[in-house]
Structure 1
Amino acid sequence: MQTTPGVAQVAVAGFNEQFDKHGAWRREVGLRLKVLADWLREQQLLDDGADESLQRLIEQLRSDKVMVAFVAEFSRGKSELINAVFFAGYGRRIMPASAGRTTMCPTELGYDADLPPCLRLLPIETRLQPQALLEWRMVPEQWTRVDLDVNDPEQLAGAMEKVSEVLHVTRDEARALGFWHDDRPEDNPPVNAAGAVEVPRWRHALINMAHPLLRQGLVVLDTPGLNAIGAEPELTVNLIPQAQAVVFILGADTGVTKSDLTIWREHLATMEDSAGTRFVVLNKIDTLWDELSTPAQIEAQMTRQCAETAQTLALDGDQVLALSAQKGLLAKVRGDAALLAQSRLPNFEYLLGQQVLGARQSTLESAIRAGVARVRSDANRTIGVRRRELSEQMLELKGLRGKNHQVIRQMRARVEQEKADFDRSAASVLAVRSVHLKLLRDVFKLLGSSSIKRELAVLSTALREPGLKLGIKKSYTKGFDNLRGVIRQVQLLERDIHSMLNTSFRQLNTEYGFSLQAAEPPSMERFEKDLDAVERSHLQYLGVGNMVQLARPEFAEKLVRALLARVRSIFETALGEIELWNKSTSSQLDAQLRERRRAYGRRIEAIQRIQDAAGGLDLRLGEISDQEAALDAVAERLQTMSHELMGTRAGAGLRAERADEILVA
């Protein structure tokens, strides 16, 4: 992004700077993980499972997304707040923020390196078709594309105006599109003198641009008012609930209005388990800057308004902030530090960064600690196997001192026979994997698409039935109980697999001297919680107020598709974790089989060298001592590298630019 010439920069540790630091941390830790993986591979300590585990962590750090959703009724200053927080560097408004209705359709701002800078717009008429929004994303030719020049603020802002475009349609057409409700006339959109109803021209907008924050994984979701939110179930049951932060914007002068309260109760209050990521902003405090009032009186008024808002919405007081987005944007453009402080925008940016980025970084750190601990444990097991093999070989060779060639030949024959016996028995070792895979196939069936459709069949049928759906809540309860039952079945199968592996590994360890250890299966608890959150997000459509909307076949069909897509995403994530667990277990067995075969090869080679050359015994014993010392050094290096990664808040020292270069390479 190019900053407009002459625009002063205000030195404030706002959200942008915190996000920059978060991005630099991700790149540094990603580089450390890559260095660890390369070193382990070089030492032949990285099996396929551990390699995939590290690569997943690196990819997670590289492509991790942080979504901040801005939700408000029309004319609350939502787009202006987005401009102030994210786009002040352009020296002007980028998102349309004039009086009245501006953002008419849900708008996502993000970055995809595979696409040029562009604005993509999905026509509103696609609402008349049954496909869910996720499905339309896979059909790029159905979107209208506008190329963007990210270095030209005027062109950029002009292109963004398209999200404000409207159409004028008949009432029947507005009703079919989901914008006209005969039972709730107060929520209906404006009607012009000819009787035509004003509706958005576009159903959804996707903005792809290389803004510094977007490039680092920030996704900004700008939502329209109540009428548009309620007509797009995928927005409220999929997109908003998955945001790391939801910012709900009210007017400081009006407080919580009836339509504000409707949005909160129907679309945001159900996110009760994510209380730490919900913020309420009382915007436009500059309307309270009355020259006839003292600063103390103005402060008291804002404090009272924040307290009343928190009480009305049943929130903690520190989740409600008062600010002026317009004055904050103006202060940043002018470089006016005093006005910026007065706007209170920095308070919001700091809280947003601390809570959202802090929570996200903690989640990533936990994943890194767990992943590195598993990889280190696997590598240490292999090091232990190598140490034991060297120790046994040392004792074996020391026993040859003073022995004649006949004894040495007999020893070689014995080792070769042991190797042959081991190779023959390896088939029985691999039988463990066959039983393991049979149990895993049952898990895969439980988490597959057919299983989801079967468990939600009654609910899907009930939603698609014509007319009012008065008993639909029971169908929802039954459907989600079924899904939770699937997760619990998976947990039971995981326990069976883990128990089987423990028994088999103990037997193999005793019989072959392995050091196999069955890893704990991935926990399914968080997937149950994800299902609980999806169920809560649908509760908004089960109240009496939404019965008429739910009776519309096209709306119910969209709700079904959105539900299936979200559940499928949860189950696929669970399946991915189980597949990685399976691969790690199989790779551990493969690694120890491979190490044993290598050990036999080294023993036969050592005996051959002793047979071929006088003094070869002492030379080989010296080599083994050197190898033991080298293994000690490898173990120490592994300990150091893993400790650095597993420590919280990896230290600075690697330049972000260099980290980018290596990760790209």
Structure 2
Amino acid sequence: MGPSFNEQFDQFGAWRRGFAQQLNALREWLAGQDLLDAAVQERLQRLEAQVRSDKVMVAFVAEFSRGKSELINAIFFAQYGRRLMPASAGRTTMCPAELGWDAEHPPGLRLLPIDTRESPESLGQWRMRGEAWMHHPLDVSNAQQIADTLTKVAEVRKVTVEQARAWGFWHDEDGADNPQRDAHGLVEVPRWRHALINMPHPLLKQGLVILDTPGLNAVGAEPELTVNLIPQAHAVVFVLAADTGVTKSDLSIWRDHVLAQDPVPADAGQGMGAQAASRLVVLNKIDTLWDSLSSGPQVQAQLRRQREDSAQMLGVAVERVLPVSAQKGLVAKVSDNQPLLQASGLPAFENMLAHGIMGQRQRVLQAAVAANVQQLRQEVERVLNIRRRDLDDQMAELQSLRGKNATVIASMRSRIETEQREFERSTAKIQALRTVHMRMLKALFHQLSSGSLKRELGELKDALEQRGLKLGARKVYAETFERLHIVAERAHSQAADIQAMMSATYKELNAESGFSLQMPPPLLLPDFTDDLRRIEASYTQYLGLGQVLKLSNAAFSQRLIKALAMRLRTVFESAANDVDLWSKSVTAPLDAQLKERKRSFSRRLEAVDRIQHAATGLEERIAEIETSDTQLTAMQTQLACAAAQLLSPLKEYAPASSVPLDITLVA
């Protein structure tokens, strides 16, 4: 059946560590060969950061009591021999919980009090205020202590209806989903707004992040969760209960908080959009269908109907609805009961997670790495080719001096000095080019600055923060994104102007000063445009008529605009980083040729002087150039080998394209 999710992630972690080590060795080699220019250095740094810091987030989304936490226990923490995440009957995960590992902080549980919802500050802003969180240490060698500490995420408190309404847990327009009042008229709400669990678990240390979300009532009250965290997850596991199928609240979560994140039209005949490949549906608690009165075939038929019905209601392929018993799977792993483990359906789900979702994430990262390694190799080879052309020119020049007298040699020295003076005069033109380039680049960065984004969001911020009903907010929202798309178009236009200016100057330098500069590539920002469209689609759900009353809550509206601003700021910063790398790659060939030509003039003059003062100087210099040419060939071979080593592990860890679903029921 292939490696499980845990094994697949271990393999991926091994590849990332090996890649980082090879990249560091390549950097040292390039520095030793004087090949580490600004563009190459930037490319190396981005590659290393991309591989070392790459996170894989798996979000578990469901209504209450569907078994999300038990599924997390069964997949990730069975080796502890017990449950770590609280998973009992009723509502357990009352607040969103993120599990990850940050080596800069000790193992522990951090909890943000629910009272912070009274503040307009976003969840992202609260993350940077450590003093606002309650801290509880975790003893990683004591599973009981970990489990006892993590029960705190299920803590609740009793508040008035007015307070619950202010925090987003009570909605007058939809009483069916409101919490029950007790004899004193109080209602139960989560004690904590968000939980961060920092554990040095092997998978978490390798970059896995697990997001465990609460039910519909809690999810809908936290816009940053539904429009930032869930959409950015690389995998979304939607959990249903096998005995109930798709309920009304399940369907609400699916439509409003899962499907709403995919603005791409569904593929014909697939029923799923571009992001749907990263979504799995788990039909949990299939053991509730096992009883002594039903035969194996009867249970399988019932499961098949539930899968088909669920797939139809959710609009997904039936193959992506997997029947599982998380509880039996956990018991089977702890007791090493292989027949029960197979019956639980957990191995089939883990394989789908590993080879489908994890495999897709790995392929995306590996494709990006392969493209960057190829570009890195091309940038280094560009410098090596400049050196080779210089050696060829020097060789032809020196061979022409064989048998010549001192007058001819002196004449050549004079010609070299004339070329050097002409080259130095061209540096004034290059300096003017740099000045214009920096001015145009500054204007481009201004388009992508936080100040520019803040101005574009100003009208929407005012519309959402006004008192009362916000019936015109959706129109303002659409107009805001029209302007943001214009910003993206303007950025591409300004980059095209820079490219045209650099191309014209490169042609002039090639014609007048003997440079061999190639035309710079165009700037491409596909992620910038796609991310804007995706964000626009994910927030639209909060601006319809059905959300008018929720939007009238000032605190909710403020959290919504702050969450939107934070997510857009990340996209703008990423685009600015791409522009910076592109700009360095555009100017790097010019910098490289300036450096190599200065060195060439020095060597040519030095060679002529040696020839003038020693009869053997000419042949010695020709021999040196031949040796240098051989060294260049060896360097190109070494570079090719280094690039191949960086890319070869990709094939070794490439996941299988598909894994069959194989579930055998235990009578």
TM-score range, shorter chain: over 0.9
Matched letter for residue 490 of structure 1: A
Once the two structures are superposed, residues 438-458 of structure 1 have per-residue CA deviations (whole angstroms, 9 ceiling, x without a partner) of 221121111112221222222
In the other structure, the counterpart of 2:592 is: 591
| 1:84-233 matched pairs, under 5 angstroms | 84-233=74-223
Partner of 2:504: 503
Partner of 2:58 in structure 1?
68
Contact 1:456 1:482 in 2 (8 A): no
| Structure 2 CA distance for aligned equivalents of residues 648 and 25 of structure 1 | 6
SS in 2 for 1:193: coil
For 1:344-355, what aligned pairs fall within 5 Å after superposition?
A: 344-355=345-356
2:387 aligned counterpart, secondary structure: helix
Residue type of the partner of 1:360? R
Is this contact kept in 1: 2:328–2:341, CA < 8 A? yes
d(CA) in 2 for partners of 1:255 and 1:284? 11
Q: CA deviation at 1:641?
A: 2.6
CA distance in 2, matches of 1:223, 1:143: 19
2: CA distance, partners of 1:637 / 1:651: 22
Moved more, 63-72 or 350-359: 350-359
What residue number does 2:660 align with? none
What is the 5 A alignment of 1:321-360?
321-360=322-361
Checking the alignment, whether the CA contact within 8 Å between 1:385 and 1:514 is kept in structure 2 is no
Q: Is the 8 A contact 2:2 2:351 kept in 1?
A: no
Tell me the equivalent position of 1:616. 617
Question: Which residue does 1:51 correspond to in 2?
Answer: 41
Q: How large is the Cα RMSD of the aligned pairs?
A: 1.7
Q: Which residue of 1 aligns with 2:23?
A: 33
Q: How does 1:484-495 map to 2 (within 5 A)?
A: 484-495=485-496
> How far apart are residue 319 of structure 1 and its match?
1.6
Q: Which moved more, 1:100-109 or 1:622-631?
A: 622-631
For residues 86-137 of structure 1, what are the alpha-carbon distances to aligned partners after superposition, in whole Å with 9 as ceiling and x for unaligned? 1001000000001111111111011111111011111111100010000011
SS at match of 1:248: strand
CA contact (8 A) 2:57 2:233 kept: yes
Q: Which amino acid aligns with 1:387?
A: R
Q: Which residue of 1 aligns with 2:474?
A: 473
Q: How far is 1:650 from its partner?
A: 4.7
| Contact 1:644–1:650 under 8 Å retained in 2 | no
Residue 648 of structure 1 deviates from its aligned partner by 7.4
Larger displacement relative to structure 2 (633-642 or 558-567): 633-642
Task: Name the amino acid aligned to 1:35.
Answer: A
Aligned to 2:251: 261
CA deviation profile, 1:409-435 (whole Å, cap 9, x unmatched): 343333234323322321212222222
Give the direction of change, closer, same or farther, for the CA distance of 1:416–1:637 in structure 2 (3 Å limit).
Answer: same
Give the structure 2 partner of residue 662 of structure 1: none
1:617 positional shift:
1.1
2:371 corresponding residue in structure 1: 370
**In structure 1, what is the Cα distance between the partners aligned to 2:130 and 2:112?**
9
Equivalent in the alignment of 1:392: 393
3-state SS of 2:245 partner: coil
d(CA) in 2 for partners of 1:361, 1:44: 33
Amino acid at match of 2:348: N
Change (3 A) 1:49 1:154: same
In structure 1, distance between residues paired with 2:649 and 2:516 = 30
Distance 2:180 2:146 in 1: 28
Alpha-carbon distance, 1:369 to partner = 2.2
Task: Specify which of 59, 69, 73 is matched with residue 83 of structure 1.
Answer: 73
- Distance in 2 (CA, whole Å) between partners of 1:490 and 1:226 is 39
| 2:553 matched residue in structure 1 | 552
1:286 Cα deviation from its structure 2 partner: 0.2
- Report SS of the residue matched to 2:281: strand
Equivalent position of 2:269 in the other structure: none
CA distance in 1 between counterparts of 2:100 and 2:298 reads: 42
Which range moved further: 519-528 or 136-145? 519-528
Q: From the superposition, tell whether residues 493 and 478 of structure 1 become closer, same or farther in structure 2 (CA, over 3 Å).
A: same
Structure 2 CA distance for aligned equivalents of residues 109 and 146 of structure 1: 14
- Partner residue, 1:459: 460
Asked if 2 retains the 8 angstrom alpha-carbon contact of 1:282 and 1:320, the reply is yes
Once residues 82 and 462 of structure 1 are traced to their aligned partners in structure 2, the CA distance between those partners, rounded to angstroms, is 41
Q: Distance in 2 between matches of 1:646 and 1:497?
A: 33
> What is the rounded CA distance, in whole Å, between the counterparts of 2:523 and 2:215 in structure 1?
40
For 1:149 and 1:509, locate their aligned partners in 2 and report how far apart those are by CA, in whole Å.
66
Distance in 1 (alpha carbons) for counterparts of 2:94 and 2:486: 41
Is 1:293 matched up with 2:309?
no
State yes or no: 1:244 paired with 2:245.
no
Q: Is the 8 A contact 1:530 1:570 kept in 2?
A: yes
Instruction: Tell me if structure 2 keeps the 8 A contact 1:128–1:177.
Output: yes
Instruction: Give the Cα separation in 1 of the matches to 2:109 and 2:507.
Output: 59
Question: Quick one: which amino acid aligns to residue 408 of structure 1?
Answer: I
Per-residue CA deviations over 1:351-403 (Å, capped at 9, x if unaligned) read 11112221222222222222122222222221221112111111222222233
Q: Which residue of 1 aligns with 2:661?
A: none
Which amino acid in 2 is paired with 1:388? R
- Normalising by structure 1, report the TM-score: 0.94
Counterparts of 2:156 and 2:215 in 1: how far apart (Å)?
14
Alignment of 1:13-24 (within 5 A): 13-24=3-14
Q: CA deviation at 1:647?
A: 5.4
User: What is the match of residue 568 of structure 1?
Assistant: 569
Instruction: Give the whole-Å Cα distance in 2 for the aligned partners of 1:518 and 1:326.
Output: 61
Kept in 2, the 8 Å contact 1:47–1:588? The answer is: no
CA contact under 8 A between 1:166 and 1:200: conserved in structure 2?
yes
Q: Determine if contact 2:59/2:213 at 8 Å carries over to the other structure.
A: yes
Question: Shift of residue 164 of structure 1?
Answer: 0.6
TM-score by length of 2: 0.93
Cα pair 2:382 2:589 within 8 Å, conserved: no
Q: Which amino acid aligns with 2:537?
A: R
Look up the equivalent residue of 2:186 and give its one-letter code: A
How far, CA to CA, are the matches of 2:236 and 2:570 in structure 1? 21
**Distance (whole Å) between structure 1 residues aligned to residue 127 and residue 235 of structure 2:** 23
Q: Distance in 2 between matches of 1:229 and 1:218?
A: 22
Secondary structure of 2:260's counterpart equals: coil
Secondary structure class of the residue paired with 2:99:
strand
Aligned residues: 642
**8 Å Cα contact 1:381/1:515 also seen in 2:** no
Unaligned runs of 5+ in 1: 1-10, 653-665
Secondary structure at the counterpart of residue 46 of structure 1: coil
Conserved 8 A contact 1:74-1:100: yes
Displacement of 1:300 in angstroms is 0.9
Shift in alpha-carbon separation, 1:280–1:560, aligned structure 2, 3 A: same
* Distance in 2 separating the partners of 1:296 and 1:13: 29
SS at match of 1:270: helix
**Aligned residue in 2 for 1:482:** 483
Letter in 2 for 1:465: Q
User: Could you tell me how far apart the structure 2 residues matched to 1:23 and 1:291 are?
Assistant: 45
Secondary structure of 2:184's partner?
coil
Change (3 A) 1:58 1:560: same
Q: How far apart are 1:35 and its partner, in Å? A: 2.5
Amino acid at match of 1:542: L
- Structure 1 residue 194 displacement after superposition: 2.1
Q: Distance in 2 between matches of 1:80 and 1:369?
A: 38
Per the TM alignment, residue 48 of structure 1 is displaced from its structure 2 partner at its CA by 1.1
- What residue number does 2:659 align with? none
In structure 2, do the counterparts of structure 1 residues 434 and 648 end up closer, same or farther at CA, with 3 Å as the change threshold? farther
CA offset at residue 651 of structure 1? 4.3
CA 1:161–1:337 in 2, change beyond 3 Å: closer, same or farther?
same
The residue type paired with residue 159 of structure 1 is T
Asked if 1 retains the 8 angstrom alpha-carbon contact of 2:521 and 2:586, the reply is: no
